[in-house]
């Protein structure tokens, strides 16, 4: 039962974000308090419960606490608001403290002092592992059933254990046992003078008062007890800070889903098991040795248990007291600087002091195949993950749910490719001795593998659609410009295609990065006859991983050092210049989100001068006339907005999501910014993601026999990766269609997943959203009308909820999303409509054509 009450402590921690959304609160303080208030009850409970067990015995107190604990947990499951939940959590903590407070007393009643280490270790596993197992189970329960079922589970298990205890538990407290025996003897003999030898002689009233006061007196007047209590309080305080921070850190910083966040608590479990094992192995032995030494040095005949002292159980305490702050420091440091999630998770164990290396490996050419058991000649989706050509992995993308939504009518292959310098190191030296764009060659090899072997998994190599998001989509489109890829796929899905600057293989930037990498691993001044390339070949993989990551940190804001280059072999030119030469495949489904730019753009742009400085830094090849042309388009839109709305140049009105059809437009306002900051956000978004999507849609639509469909995902907060990105909280295209409490309706989630499925299987996306007023999804520039038909995906209704987002670790913004509310709140409803992509956001088509003329300077 001690494990059960501690399980209650943190079982619903992964569900706290869901709970806060249901109760319409974004308070970070309450997010922590709703978990930790239980500890306050656990702190007050022992001051009352432990003394009562000295008067009434252990068993009666256990039974009363069982009823109180289960009752208040049921109250938590039924809580109508946040205030009542907090109060019920506190009261359940008061009654739940019984088992931790009295468990040690029960062990002392039954086990001799010299053999208590094993019993205490076994008992301690419950309170220690309960808070670890709780979030693991809670993560999966929250994802499947919602946060309230975390409490129902505790109540069900608690009821069962209470019944078992009621039937089997016997009293262990010696004075109460002997007093019961004496009472029976007094009754049977008629002798009222019979007393037990442990009878204190005090009246019931005085005995109760003494029992209630004694713990407080010991706490105040005994330094040993005071210091140990403070140590335990601080340690458990830090432990609970970790409980409450894990959810935010691993969801917001590392993109974990609620069930994955639960698994992050395993590190604490491993550390707890190690600590308990050490205590079990050493404590009794050390106690016996110290007692023997004390007995040998003096007469302890008048001391109970000879020379044994409780302090001898604290031999491991100094080691733990050092490991705790070390582990906490590393946990906080690695999170602040976005080191891979394995490090804060490992440091939760409070035992690992290994060096920090960037994770990942050059030996990564694996792929995952998701195939139905009875697959036969099914169409194939080949997925290329994004991550700026430097991050992420195949394991983050599980297509089995999306396939299930589409009745398993296709199979999926998720590939990996070399990242960072391993995949995209370039210079004249590299190309002369090896190959440029190695990561892209990995993708080609994977597609060739699919052609050769996918039939063995039940796939049809003649029906392959290559897909990706962000850099993965950009890579798919770059591959579509190459001759080597001809015949390897027929369709392309490009979600938010990231088309960044693409220099010549021996240009200044790739050559400079090559030299920086060499310097970082001490290859620039070897003093030997080895060339830089030969020297790099002899450097170990881990050093190269760290150096690759370091070079990226030296680059421009929001940019990676490594990416595709024009190598004259596989990639002959930039995407915009290659479009006129034709693209491989015949079908395209491409998209963007409403706000592609904020996370890639410095959030300190407040004037035209700042905007020009941003352009010059991000796109160093832009000429003065280029910048003048950009200002004539983008800055003019901003000035027109200020004039039309009688606002000055320093306007700092809060942002909001635009509707794309009417002013104000995304050229000057968004959910993230207004004014010059939004001018920069929108320019980056259009130059890097949105207009490339526009260009390739035009290219496929103009191709003989080609078809193109395009959509924009506008559901706030609509940031880059929200629609597909693993762990985004939406996971629109990968998560179970019944995922509750997000800003997307269940019919719309199903509709988008089946639209992808229809494109993969039947060659064209269709709309099967039960709540949609759009029944037909027309092609982009459909033959016969030439209109750039674009599907705008949005919702209406819901409860506006603000959440703080941090940019570059410094700038904090309150970003609004819309979540399901209560019965009296406006319901979330699908809002899909077909718009003209040319006129969208005040003439985006015209701006994309202007950017196409500047692509030589922007994309090189």
Quote the pLDDT of residue 301.
46
What is the C-alpha separation between 113 and 104, in angstroms, rounded? 12
Crossing angle, helix 148-168 and helix 58-77, to 10 degrees? Answer: 160
The residue-averaged pLDDT of 827-849 equals: 93
Using DSSP's 3-state secondary structure scheme, residue 412 falls into: strand
Contact 284, 116 (CB under 8 A): yes
Q: What is the β-pairing status of strands 811-819 and 587-593?
A: unpaired
Look at residues 811, 777, 592 and name the one whose alpha carbon lies nearest to residue 695: 592
Alpha carbon distance 138, 753 (integer Å): 27
The C-alpha atoms of residue 233 and residue 43 are separated, in whole angstroms, by 9
What is the DSSP code string of 54-118? HHH-HHHHHHHHHHHHHHHHHHHHT-SSHHHHHHHHHHHHHHHHHHHHHHHHHHHHHS-GGGHHH
Which sign does the torsion angle of CA 701, 706, 707, 713 carry?
A: negative
pLDDT of 189 strictly over 80: yes
Q: Which run of H or E residues covers position 589?
A: strand 587-593
Q: What's the mean pLDDT in 246-259?
A: 58
Q: Quick one: pLDDT at residue 10?
A: 62
CA distance 376 to 268: 45
pLDDT of residue 340: 43
Helix (H) or strand (E) holding 830: strand 829-836
- Strand pairing of 811-819 and 829-836? unpaired
CA distance 398 to 414: 8
**Whether residue 351 has pLDDT greater than 90:** no
Is the pLDDT at 421 greater than 80? The verdict is yes
Does residue 599 contact residue 498 with C-beta atoms inside 8 Å? no
Alpha helices in 249-265 (DSSP H): 258-263
Dist. CA 515–CA 702, nearest whole Å = 43
Angle between helices 82-110 and 116-145 (to 10 degrees): 160
Q: Residue 751 — very low, low, confident or very high, per pLDDT cuts 50/70/90? A: very high
Residue 238 predicted with pLDDT over 50 = yes
Helix (H, G, I), strand (E, B) or coil at 208: helix
**Helix H or strand E segment including 548:** helix 541-553
Q: Between these two residues, 789 and 8, which has the higher pLDDT value?
A: 789
Q: Give the domain 367-585 fold.
A: Rossmann fold (3.40.50)
Q: Is the dihedral of CA 26, 28, 29, 33 positive or negative?
A: positive
Q: Are 588 and 491 in contact (CB under 8 A)?
A: yes
Distance CA 734, CA 726 (A): 8
Which pTM value belongs to this model?
0.63
pLDDT reported for residue 362? 67
Looking at residue 855, what is its pLDDT? 78
State yes or no: pLDDT of 588 exceeds 50: yes
User: Which pLDDT band, with edges at 50, 70 and 90, does 302 fall under?
Assistant: very low
> pLDDT band for position 109 (50/70/90)?
confident
CB–CB of 365/356 below 8 Å? no
Q: How far is CA 564 from the centre of its chain?
A: 28
| CATH 3.40.50.1820 domain residues, the chain | 367-585
Q: b vs e for 57-66, b when ≥16 Cβ sit within 10 Å of the residue's Cβ? A: bbbebbeebb
Residue 346: predicted pLDDT:
42
| SS3 call for 29 | helix
Sheet strands (E) in 441-583? 459-469, 491-495
Inform me whether the pLDDT recorded for 347 exceeds 70: no
Mean pLDDT of 149-155: 86
Q: What is the pLDDT of residues 23-73, one digit of tens each?
A: 777 676 777 777 778 878 877 777 777 777 777 778 888 888 889 888 998
Q: What is the pLDDT of residues 452-482, one digit of tens each?
A: 999 999 999 999 999 999 999 999 999 999 9
CB-neighbour burial class of residue 208 (10 A; exposed 0-12, middle 13-18, buried 19+) = middle
> Do residues 46 and 134 lie in contact, with contact meaning Cβ atoms separated by under 8 Å?
no
Cβ(698)–Cβ(615) under 8 Å? Answer: no
- d(CA 224, CA 12) in angstroms, rounded, equals 35
Q: How confident is the model at residue 820 (pLDDT cuts 50, 70, 90)?
A: confident
Rounded-to-integer distance, Cα 433 and Cα 427, Å = 10
State the DSSP H helix or E strand holding residue 322, giving kind and residue range, or none if neither.
helix 317-336
Is pLDDT larger for residue 364 or for residue 567? 567
**Contact (Cβ atoms closer than 8 angstroms) between residue 592 and residue 660:** no
CB-based contacts of 318, cutoff 8 Å, min separation 6: none
CA nearest neighbour of 691 among 483, 852, 848: 848
Which of 22-26, 621-625, 674-678, 684-688 holds the top average pLDDT? 684-688
Please determine, for residue 356, whether its predicted confidence score (pLDDT) is greater than 50: no
Rounded to 10°, the helix 2-10/58-77 angle is 30
Question: In this predicted structure, what is the pLDDT of residue 82?
Answer: 86
pLDDT value for 438: 95
pLDDT of residue 686: 97
Q: Which positions ≥6 away from 441 have C-beta within 8 Å? A: 435, 570
Q: How far apart are the first and last CA of the chain?
A: 65
Characterize 380-401 residue by residue with b for buried, 16 or more Cβ atoms within 10 angstroms of its Cβ, and e for exposed. bbbbbbbbbbbbbbbebbbbeb
Q: Residue 321 — left, alpha, or beta (φ > 0 → left; ψ -120 to 50 → alpha)?
A: alpha
Written out in words, the top-level CATH class of the domain with range 2-172+222-347 is mainly alpha
pLDDT band at 338 (very low <50, low <70, confident <90, very high): very low
On the CB side of 260, CA atoms within 13 Å amount to 17
For the cut 90, the answer to whether the pLDDT of residue 806 exceeds it is no
Give the helix/strand (H/E) hosting 709.
strand 707-713
Asked if 798 and 805 count as a contact pair (C-beta separation under 8 A), the reply is: no
Q: What pLDDT score does 343 carry?
A: 40
pLDDT of residue 620 exceeding 60: yes
Q: How confident is the model at residue 358 (pLDDT cuts 50, 70, 90)?
A: very low
Q: What mean pLDDT, rounded, does the chain reach? A: 81
Q: Where are the alpha helices (DSSP H) in 703-833?
A: 746-762
Q: State the pLDDT at residue 663.
A: 86
Q: Which among 614, 714, 712 is positioned nearest to 670, based on CA atoms?
A: 714
pLDDT given for residue 145 in this prediction: 78
Separate counts of helices (H) and strands (E) for the chain: 31, 11
Contacts of residue 704, defined as CB under 8 A and 6 or more positions apart, other chains included, come to: none
Q: What is the mean pLDDT of residues 326-354?
A: 47
Summarised one tens digit per residue, pLDDT across range 86-104 is 899 889 888 887 777 777 7
| In the chain, ranges of CATH 1.20.1250.20 domains | 2-172+222-347
**What distances in angstroms separate CA 376 from CA 358, 379, 793, one per listed residue?**
41, 9, 34
Q: Residue 470, Cα to own-chain centre: how many angstroms?
A: 19
Q: Give the pLDDT score at 814.
A: 79
121 versus 413: which is more confidently predicted? 413
Q: Which residues contact 694 (CB under 8 A, 6 or more apart)?
A: 710, 788, 837, 844, 845, 848
pLDDT(11) > 80: no
- Asked whether residue 19 carries a pLDDT value surpassing 60, the answer given is yes
Collapsing DSSP to helix, strand or coil, 604 comes out as coil
């Amino acid at each position: 039962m001690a494990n059960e009450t501690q399980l209650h402590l943190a079982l619903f921690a992964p569900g706290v974000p869901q709970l806060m959304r249901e109760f319409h609160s974004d308070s970070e303080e309450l997010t922590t308090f709703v978990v930790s208030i239980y500890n306050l009850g656990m702190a007050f409970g022992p001051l009352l419960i432990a003394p009562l067990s000295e008067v009434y015995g252990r068993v009666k107190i256990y039974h009363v606490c069982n009823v109180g604990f289960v009752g208040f947990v049921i109250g938590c499951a039924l809580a109508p608001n946040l205030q009542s939940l907090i109060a019920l959590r506190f009261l359940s903590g008061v009654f739940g403290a019984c088992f931790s407070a009295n468990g040690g007393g029960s062990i002392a009643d039954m086990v001799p002092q010299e053999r208590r280490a094993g019993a205490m270790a076994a008992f301690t596993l419950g309170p220690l592992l309960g808070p670890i197992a709780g979030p693991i189970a809670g993560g999966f329960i929250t994802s499947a059933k919602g946060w309230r079922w975390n409490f129902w589970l505790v109540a069900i298990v608690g009821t069962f254990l209470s019944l078992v205890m009621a039937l089997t538990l016997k009293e262990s407290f010696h004075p109460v046992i002997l007093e019961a025996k004496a009472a029976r003897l007094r009754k049977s003999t008629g002798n009222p003078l019979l007393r037990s030898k442990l009878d204190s002689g005090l009246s019931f009233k005085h005995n109760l008062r003494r029992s209630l006061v004694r713990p407080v007196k010991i706490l105040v007047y005994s330094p040993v007890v005071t210091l140990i209590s403070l140590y335990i309080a601080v340690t458990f305080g830090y432990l609970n800070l970790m409980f409450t921070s894990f959810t935010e850190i691993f969801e917001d910083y590392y993109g974990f889903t609620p069930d994955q966040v639960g698994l992050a608590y395993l590190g604490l479990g491993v550390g707890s098991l190690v600590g308990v094992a050490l205590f079990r192995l050493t404590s009794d032995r050390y106690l016996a040795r110290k007692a023997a030494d004390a007995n040998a040095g003096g007469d302890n005949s008048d001391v109970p248990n000879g020379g044994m002292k409780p302090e001898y159980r604290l031999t491991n305490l100094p080691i733990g007291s050092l490991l705790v702050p070390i582990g906490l420091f590393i946990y906080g440091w690695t999170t602040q600087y976005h080191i891979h999630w394995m490090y804060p998770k490992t440091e939760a164990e409070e035992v690992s002091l290994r060096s920090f290396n960037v994770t990942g490996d050059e030996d990564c050419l694996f792929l995952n195949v998701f195939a139905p058991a009875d697959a036969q000649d099914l169409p194939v989706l080949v997925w290329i993950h994004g991550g700026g050509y430097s991050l992420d992995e195949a394991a983050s993308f599980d297509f089995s749910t999306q396939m299930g939504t589409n009745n398993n009518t296709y199979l999926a292959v998720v590939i990996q490719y070399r990242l960072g310098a391993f995949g995209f190191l370039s210079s004249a030296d590299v190309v002369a001795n090896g190959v440029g764009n190695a990561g892209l060659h990995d993708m080609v090899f994977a597609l060739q593998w699919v052609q050769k072997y996918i039939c063995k998994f039940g796939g049809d190599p003649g029906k392959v659609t290559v897909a990706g998001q962000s850099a993965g989509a950009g890579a798919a489109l770059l591959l579509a410009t190459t001759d080597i890829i001809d015949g390897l796929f027929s369709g392309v899905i490009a979600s938010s295609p990231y088309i960044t600057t693409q220099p010549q293989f021996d240009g200044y930037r790739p050559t400079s990065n090559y030299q920086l990498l060499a310097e970082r691993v001490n290859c620039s001044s070897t003093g030997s006859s080895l060339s830089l390339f030969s020297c790099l070949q002899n450097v170990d993989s881990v050093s190269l991983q760290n150096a690759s990551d370091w070079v990226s940190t030296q680059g421009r804001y929001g940019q990676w050092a490594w990416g595709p280059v024009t190598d004259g072999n596989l990639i002959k030119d930039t995407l915009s210049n290659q479009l006129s030469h034709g693209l491989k495949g015949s079908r395209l489904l491409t998209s963007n989100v409403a706000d592609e730019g904020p996370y890639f753009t410095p959030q300190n742009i407040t004037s035209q001068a700042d905007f020009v400085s941003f352009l010059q830094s991000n796109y160093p090849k832009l000429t003065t006339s280029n910048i003048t042309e950009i200002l004539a388009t983008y800055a003019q839109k901003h000035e027109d907005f200020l004039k039309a709305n009688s606002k000055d140049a320093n306007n700092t009105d809060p942002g909001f999501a635009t509707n794309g059809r009417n002013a104000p437009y995304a050229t000057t306002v968004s959910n993230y910014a207004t004014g010059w900051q939004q001018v920069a956000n929108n320019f980056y978004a259009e130059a890097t993601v949105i207009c490339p999507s526009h260009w390739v849609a035009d290219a496929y639509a103009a191709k003989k026999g080609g078809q193109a469909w395009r959509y924009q995902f506008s559901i706030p907060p609509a940031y880059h990766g929200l629609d597909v990105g693993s762990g985004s909280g939406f996971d629109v295209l990968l998560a179970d269609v019944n995922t509750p409490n997000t800003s997307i309706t269940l019919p719309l989630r199903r509709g988008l997943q089946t639209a992808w499925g229809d494109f993969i299987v039947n060659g064209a996306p269709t709309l099967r959203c039960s709540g949609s007023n759009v029944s037909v999804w027309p092609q982009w520039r459909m033959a016969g009308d030439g209109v750039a038909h674009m599907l705008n995906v949005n919702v209406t209704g819901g409860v506006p909820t603000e959440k703080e987002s941090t940019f570059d670790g410094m700038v904090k913004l309150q970003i609004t999303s819309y979540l399901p509310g209560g019965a009296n709140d406006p319901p979330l409803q699908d809002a899909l409509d077909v718009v003209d992509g040319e006129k969208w956001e005040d003439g985006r088509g015209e701006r994309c054509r202007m950017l196409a003329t500047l692509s030589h300077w922007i994309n090189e």
